[in-house]
Structure formats: structure tokens, C-alpha cells
Amino acid sequence: MDGKVAIVTGAGSGMGRAIAQTLGGLGFKMALIGRRKGALEETAASLSGEYLVHPADLSEPDQCTAMIEAVVARWGRIDVLVNNAGVNRKKRACADTEREDWDAVVRTNLDGVFFCTRAALPTMRAQREGQIINISSGAGRRPSAISGVAYSAAKHGVHVMTFMLNDEEWKNGIRASVIAPGEVATPIMEQRPQVPPRETWADMLQPQDIAEAVRYLVSLPKRVLVDELSIRPSVRRTG
């Protein structure tokens, strides 16, 4: 993977940090994207290779475009785009979700994936190759009250977008995959209306588990397309 370029959004913590560390370990030049510059710099400090720290609010299309332009200006190409950034809110039921909550979740979890992908496509098309990996959720396939209406709807949209990309872009050498994890022990758990007891977090998927799935996808030959990868904890929780 030496010389190849990967972008990871939401790289300041949790799955994004683990994915960036894993891809960096494979030799990728890493573009670390997220809202919090300090957190991104902490991730960068754990890398041994070349990196770019670029703070951005991915709910804003102009900032997504500027981020892609910065990466291309630095390295001239984009081999892998991992759309990982995601948020949720405390109010999750249809009757309780305020407009502000809906906008915050959908703009980041769905619109941000679209904005980043759309901005990266011209470069990948010019290269005649590229890989897009979207980190979704099991809620994208099986909506639940725990995940909430806005989060479930946005993640379902990410699945749809992934399949549409493969229908439209295969002729340009571009492949897209969506990873749908179950519960992962990351800071987003703290945003739940009822935070799961800490002693249960060890039974959840861990950020490195998702990073290993990304490692698997980027290691596959170009002839192989994995549309969707579902990963769940072996321990079932109900709340």
C-alpha cells in the first residue's frame, strides 16, 4: 500500500482512529478528517507515516469539497475514502425528535457521506480506480428504538447510496462497500438516552474489529466487490 492515499473521516476517536492507525500501518498516506483538530492531532501522533490533518464540518458541502481539494493538492490522488464520521442525539423517538436533532444526525451521517463521495469521484474517475468504504450500522438494515428514527433513516440511506455507487461507477473502476456494525464500544455510546453499563462494553464490538474489516476490504484484488459487510457482537443485548 506504500504511496497510496486514504482519507478517513471521524478520525479523531473510536472507529475512525483505529481505521486510520490500521491503514497507516499498511503504508497508506493518511488524511485525517474531523471537527476537532486536537483529537485529529492525537491520532496523527500515533502514526509513523505521512499524514495530513484537516479539520472540517462534513455537514457542510463546501468544507467537504475543500477537504478533498486539500488532499489532492498534497498527494495528487485518492485511493481509499472511508466515510466514518457519525453522530446521534439523546432524543430518538419520532414524537420526541426535534428538527435540530434530525438535521444534526442526517446532515452528518447521510449528507456528509454524499458530499465527501461526490467531491472525491472526479479524482477517482480520472485515476480509473478508487475504493469507497462507508461505515454504516446494523440500524441501517434493522431500524430500532435504541438507534432512533433519524439515525436509522440516515444509515439506511448510506446503504442505498453504496449500492447506487456500484451500479453507476463500476465502469470507472470504482468500488464501494458498506460495513454495518452492531454495537461498538466507542464514545457514541455516551449519547444514548440510557448509557449501557460499562461492564457490558467489553462484550461489544471494539473499534479495532471494524478496522480489521476495513483492512480486509482494502486488501482484496480489484476484481472482488463486497457490497455489504454485516458484523455483530456474539453477545446479544436488549437495551
| Nine-digit cell string for 217 | 476490504
Measure the CA–CA gap between 58 and 235, rounded to whole angstroms.
33
Measure the CA–CA gap between 202 and 204, rounded to whole angstroms.
5
- The DSSP output letter for 221 is -
Residue closest to 83 by CA, chosen among 162, 196, 183, 140:
162
Residue closest to 225 by CA, chosen among 169, 181, 141, 180:
169
DSSP code per residue over 64-133: HHHHHHHHHHHHS--SEEEE------S--STTT--HHHHHHHHIIIIIHHHHHHHHHHHHHHHHT-EEEE
51 catalytic residue (yes or no): no
Q: What is the number of other CB atoms lying within 10 angstroms of the CB of residue 74?
A: 15
Catalytic residue among 54, 115, 151, 186: 151
Element (H, E) at 151: helix 149-169
Element (H, E) at 29: strand 29-34
Q: Which residues are catalytic?
A: 151
